[in-house]
Amino acid sequence: MIRILGYADRISAAPGECIQVKVSCEGLDQYDADLVRVIHGDINPSGPGYRDAPVPLDLGGPFKGRYQPIHAGSFGVVNAKPLFPAKSSLGLQAFVFPTLPGRGPQTILSRQDPQSGIGFRLYLDPEGAAALEVTAGGEKGGVVATGAPLIAERWYLISGSYDAASGALTVAQKPLKSYPWVNDADRASRTVPVNLAFADVGAPVMIAARQSTDRPATENFNGRIEAPKILSRFLPAEAMESPLDMQCEGLAAAWDFSIGIPTGQITDQSGNGLHGHLVNLPTRGVCGHAWNGDEHCWVKRPGHYAAIHFHDDDLYDCAWETDFEVRLPDDLSSGVYAVRLHGGVEEFYIPFSVRPPRGTTTAPVAFLLPTASYMAYANNRIGLDVPETEIVCGRLIQMSPIDLFMQTHPEIGLCFYDLHNDGSGVFYSSRLRPIVNMQPGHIGHLGGVGSNLWQFNADTHILGWLEHLDQPFDVIADEDLESEGSGILEGYRAVITGTHPEYYSVGMLDSLQSYLDDGGRLMYLGGNGFYWRVSFHPELPGVIECRKSEDGIRAYAPRPGEFYASFTGEYTGLWRRNGRPPNALAGIGMVSQGFDRSSPYVMKEASRDPRAAFVFEGVEGPVIGDYGLSGGGAAGLELDATDHSLGTPPHTLVLASSERHSDLYLMTPEDMDDPAPGLGGSEAEIIRAEMVFFETPGGGAVFSTGSIAWCGSLSHANYENDVARITTNVLRRFLDEKPFTPAPG
């Protein structure tokens, strides 16, 4: 049981700036907090062990522990003025595409006082049938339901009406496509008291949820809702079962979700100004009922993208109150830090980077902290939800206390490797929530036999190595790279990546490419980098979008017609499908993954090229890295190799390569146009990590290892080994101002 959780309002800050820390405790009355510099988060007794450095800074504790809830589930809110007279008739209508009908009551459109129940709601009842409730308090009112469950993933026009004069309460569901023998069209009516006073309610109109007494919303809808409308008069059922015209008399509200797709706002087109906002980022830029394949980009035909996909497990911002603020000392050196919350035996880390003071560099080398990739894997449930994980890891999955917590607390939200409860892919991932798998000391699932680290904690292998070298370094987070552009890298002689910088925005990629074009030196010390295109939200902080269009190794495929990011309108998917293959930047690109054992590299002929002599000074070879904490070898987990057809520079030197992997390593879908036998690591030659070096036209250079596991071998024999020697050789030469001689020609 994890009794203390927290998150911060930012993931990167400069000295002198403030970070707001939000904490929730369960069964813990008091806790304390301190600031630590993260050095080596790997607790494997076979390695150097855990190491951090306390920062002498009083954060103001001890603090009183309090519980702050997480309310997952997306919905729309319209803080509406009175819509119509209290004793009015009523009409409600929406296109609906349910994805989990029958999974409890799910609201389509509501305005209901949570205490008294006064108001109305159009919803799917627990059986998944359309239902309408109108209540004026006490026993006055009633419910009518069709009794016919909707079929999942089919479009319906749902309508409901109340005739104040006759007391007729009617609800109907009309499928947009009918099938023989399938009876999912239905209408039901009953009579309730006339002139019910239900409309003058001090509650907001809510879309895809209804208000609750103990949380912001309940009975969330799973699926798509399009063009919800409210009518302040009665129309006969036949009229309600056709789309209402915008000129319809008595139209009180008519929301058009095709307007403002990148935003969190919803727009009322009735003329009554009943605009609203969305909570917890339901998915926008998705196909509506009218989509017919003529256009695949919502920017060009928004009318075909007038639906919003709501999920009962969407989560953007926990919106916890701040418990304390940390003002970073003016002289705090750049690095990776964490606020450590602790009480009794409980502790929880909230990591962030401290960048150098704005406009300055304080070290010759920058470590790019891949925070976009950390968000992409935030609270990843792959070991919990995906039964094949044991097969691809080649061993039993281990459940840490963090995993057990995630299993019983799914409300902490999902990431790009998870599916929503309705089976749809997760497009948005936020850091404004506790991220339980982004902590020093964390043990992952995919990190191979040994330490089994992934992303943040695996990257502390690099921090530990830099600290071992006493090498001064600055830390630049992905969000810094995105927001400030290439200027933030100016002044660094070398830039080092993390072990798995997989998720890149166009801004980040442009910044890094520009740095290289200007003579920078890049040490890509990982695997499967620069793979997926992501989009930062132009206004909302701390959230990215990724749609894994076309192909690539992915947990889901987006539906046809939904390959464009809602945040920005960018085409999504692999960077190699967007004209920017990682090979062009780093010389190599993703070719395979497997999560059992890693392999060594073997030096290739090009390792003897004078251009690369500096790399192998003091290295015996030819076998490199048949040891390590990440799978027992330096080449493993996810592998990159050269491909000249994908932009590997022609003068690239392949210095070393792994030669054999287990058959848990398989080719990537994007390389497997025509599957044939022999796709595994023991047979397919494409499955290899290639260590490469090349010079850039601006006098700089690139060194890439092509393996996530590489940095897990750095600390072997107290950093006295060929992997550490090669990496250090490259760093020393890259820090030397002397330009690299461009390749001949």
Partner 1 sequence: MSRYRITQDDLRHAAEFRADPLGMPSPGLQRVLNLLRGGPKSGKYVLVVAEPFRRWILGRLPAERGQPVELLDGMEFTDLAEAEWAVFKLRWKAHTGKDLEQEL
**What residues make contact with partner 1 under the rule CB under 8 A?**
43-46, 381, 383-388, 390-391, 394-401, 404, 407-410, 421, 443, 449, 596-597, 662-664, 682
Quote the least distance from Cβ 457 to partner 1, whole Å. Answer: 12
Residue number with CB closer to partner 1 (50 or 571): 50
| Interacting residues of 402 by C-beta distance below 8 A, sequence separation 6+ | 2, 436, 437, 439, 442
Whichever of 421 and 705 has its CB closer to partner 1, that residue is 421
Measured from the CB atom, is 77 or 414 closer to partner 1? 414
CB 703 within 8 A of CB 734: yes
Q: Report how far residue 47's alpha carbon sits from residue 712's, in angstroms, rounded to the nearest whole number.
A: 9
Q: 168-190 b/e with 16+ CB inside 10 Å = b?
A: bbbbbbbbeeeeeeeebebbbee
Contacts of residue 731, Cβ cutoff 8 Å, sequence gap at least 6: 365, 469, 471, 494, 496, 523
- Residue 165's closest CA among 110, 244, 90, 109? 90
The least CB distance from residue 554 to partner 1, in Å, is 19
Q: What distance in Å separates the CA atoms of residue 371 and residue 541, rounded to the nearest whole number?
A: 13
Q: How far is the CB of 159 from partner 1 (least distance, A)?
A: 33
Nearer to partner 1, 664 or 730 (CB): 664
Question: DSSP assignment, residue 432?
Answer: B
The nearer residue to partner 1, 371 or 662, going by C-beta atoms, is 662
Rounded alpha-carbon distances, angstroms, from residue 24 to 4, 28, 97: 6, 9, 36
**E strand or H helix at 239:** helix 237-240
367 backbone dihedrals φ, ψ, rounded to 5°? -95, 125
> Between residues 582 and 633, which has the closer beta carbon with respect to partner 1?
633
> Minimal distance in Å, beta carbon 444 to partner 1?
12
Residue with smaller CB distance to partner 1, 46 or 79: 46
Give 565's contacts (C-beta < 8 A, 6+ positions apart).
285, 535, 545, 547, 571, 572
C-beta of 165 vs 676, nearer to partner 1: 676
Pairing mode of beta strands 494-496, 521-524? parallel
CB of 532 to partner 1, least distance (A): 25
- Burial group, residue 295, by CB count within 10 angstroms (0-12, 13-18, 19+): middle
CB of 103 to partner 1, least distance (A): 11
Q: How near is the Cβ of 664 to partner 1 at its closest, in Å?
A: 8
The residues with which 25 forms a beta bridge, in sequence order, are 4
CB 684, CB 678: distance < 8 Å? yes
Q: Kindly state the helix (H) or strand (E) to which residue 657 belongs, with its residue range.
A: strand 653-658
- CB half-sphere exposure, 651, CA atoms < 13 A: 14
Residue 497: CB minimum distance to partner 1, A: 28
Query: What distance, in Å, lies between the first and last C-alpha atoms of the chain?
Result: 62
Taking the least distance from each CB to partner 1, the nearer of 454 and 524 is: 454
Q: With respect to partner 1, which residue has the nearer C-beta, 468 or 661?
A: 661
Closest to partner 1 by CB, 334 vs 662, is 662
Q: How far is the CB of 442 from partner 1 (least distance, A)?
A: 10
3-state secondary structure of 474: strand
Taking each helix axis from N to C terminus, what angle separates 456-469 and 722-735, rounded to the nearest 10 degrees? 70
Q: How far is the CB of 627 from partner 1 (least distance, A)?
A: 16
List beta partners, residue 68.
none
Minimum gap (Å) between residue 3 Cβ and partner 1: 16
What is the DSSP secondary-structure string of 703-729? Answer: EE--BGGGGGGTTHHHH-SHHHHHHHH
SS3 category, 624: strand
| Between 554 and 597, CB nearer to partner 1 | 597
Nearest residue (CB) to partner 1, 396 versus 676: 396
Q: For residues 306 and 257, what is the distance between their CA atoms, to the nearest angstrom? A: 5
Q: How far is the CB of 388 from partner 1 (least distance, A)?
A: 7
Closest contact distance (angstroms) between CB of 110 and partner 1 is 25
* Of 23, 168, 164, 174, residue with least CA distance to 87: 164
Question: 209: which DSSP letter?
Answer: S
How is residue 29 written in tokens? 């009355």
In the complex with partner 1, the residue whose CB is nearer, 163 or 596, is 596
- Least distance to partner 1 from the beta carbon of 278, Å? 24
Give dist(CA 601, CA 622) in Å, integer: 8
